[in-house]
Amino acid sequence: MSDADTELIAFAKAISRVLGWTYFLAWSASFYPQPITNWRRKSTLGLAIDFPTCNVLGFTAYTISTASFLYSPTIQSQYAARHPNAPETTVRFNDFLFAAHGAVMCVVVYSQFFPAIWGFKVGSRQKASRVVLGVFWGCLLSILLTVLVVGIRGRDWGYDASGWAWIDVIYTLGYVKLLTVVIKYIPQAWINYKRKSTSGWSIYTITLDFSGGIMSLAQVMIDSTLQGSWEGVTGNPVKFGLGNITLLFDLIFLYQHYWLYRKAPGTADEDEDEDDEEWDERRRLLLSRQIY
């Protein structure tokens, strides 16, 4: 290998690290506009509760998944056994940090739907839809079933990567994250469509999300090229899929905000709305109970 090739590889690795931390900062920052918007408005109207419900499950699963790829010798060895051409996973520390930080922020946003905690105005629908709840519990059941299959049918109690192994549980967690990303955006896009407005739904979250998605995909491509194998993509389908799905839905939300409903009044009177006087009375009663 010539000096020029060595320098080019070093440069590509540096670019990968920069992209990794930049997308980490962009995606991490994207968690803040929505809770800040809710806090300023003292309301969660305009935000579908399905969104944080899916996020809590998805980011918890993603945190466990990335932590396992980074810090579990068992998972690392099983990954290497299944991907001999690219034995090193493309999961990075910034992936884990992003997932852990995201899990905490998702819990914060979800908690804002409980007036007893924040005192915010919320809609009449204070729990996720049946479809989302079905997906939620179905995901938990699939994780449990995978654990049982690995424990019962896995070779050497799941430590032999040639059969059912513990890495399959980690892959299941990753696919849970991927599924929640697909599901969580649909109710929000539907609410925006019904209300003909994006009021209450922070566009800053979307712009940061969009930027992070592009950089995440770019990092995966560079890392796979450096390894000389696309197994860096196939072996880390969650990260690759997250970037693509995020970009698709972000484009939909950007189109809704800046084109379809750009002249819509800044109201939040969707199907979840309540009479203001009734809400104020409920809020006064709630505060009096907390005081006494």
Distances (CA, A) of 185 to 75, 90, 115, 218: 31, 26, 24, 23
Q: How far apart are the C-alpha atoms of 94 and 21, rounded to whole Å?
A: 6
pLDDT tens digits, 7-66 = 888 888 899 889 888 888 898 899 999 999 999 999 999 999 999 999 999 999 999 999
Q: Per DSSP, what are the bridge partners of residue 43?
A: 121
Is pLDDT of 152 > 50?
Answer: yes
- Per the model's pLDDT, the better-predicted residue between 245 and 110 turns out to be 110
**281 pLDDT tier (thresholds 50, 70, 90):** low
- Average the pLDDT over each of 11-15, 89-93, 118-122 and give the range with the smallest value: 89-93
**156 pLDDT tier (thresholds 50, 70, 90):** confident
Counting every residue, how long is the chain?
A: 292
pLDDT confidence of residue 216: 79
pLDDT confidence of residue 243: 66
Is pLDDT of 111 > 90?
Answer: yes
DSSP states along the chain: --HHHHHHHHHHHHHHHHHHHHHHHHHHHTTSHHHHHHHHHTB-TTS-THHHHHHHHHHHHHHHHHHHHHH-HHHHHHHHHH-TTS-S----HHHHHHHHHHHHHHHHHHHTT-HHHH--B--S--S--HHHHHHHHHHHHHHHHHHHHHHHHSGGGGT-TTSS-HHHHHHHHHHHHHHHHHHHHHHHHHHHHHHT--TTS-HHHHHHHHHHHHHHHHHHHHHHHHHTSTHHHHT-HHHHHHHHHHHHHHHHHHHIIIIITTTS-S---STT---HHHHHHHHHHHHHHHH-
97: left (phi over 0), alpha (psi -120 to 50) or beta: alpha
pLDDT confidence of residue 123: 77
C-alpha angle 271-272-276 in degrees, rounded to nearest 5: 115
Q: How far apart are the C-alpha atoms of 186 and 194, rounded to whole Å?
A: 12
* Whether the predicted model's global pTM rises above the 0.85 cut: no
Structure tokens at 81: 């056994």
- Per the model's pLDDT, the better-predicted residue between 157 and 270 turns out to be 157
**127 pLDDT tier (thresholds 50, 70, 90):** confident
- Per the model's pLDDT, the better-predicted residue between 169 and 160 turns out to be 169
pLDDT confidence of residue 204: 93
pLDDT tens digits, 233-264 = 655 566 666 667 788 999 999 999 999 988 76
Is pLDDT of 125 > 80?
Answer: no
Q: Average pLDDT of 82-87?
A: 79
Q: Average pLDDT of 103-121?
A: 94
pLDDT confidence of residue 137: 96
Mean residue pLDDT of the chain comes to 84
Q: How far apart are the C-alpha atoms of 261 and 280, rounded to whole Å?
A: 29
* Distance, C-alpha 93 to centroid of its chain: 16
Is pLDDT of 278 > 60?
Answer: no
Q: Per DSSP, what are the bridge partners of residue 121?
A: 43
Tell which residue, 291, 273, 284, has the closest CA to residue 115: 284
pLDDT confidence of residue 262: 82
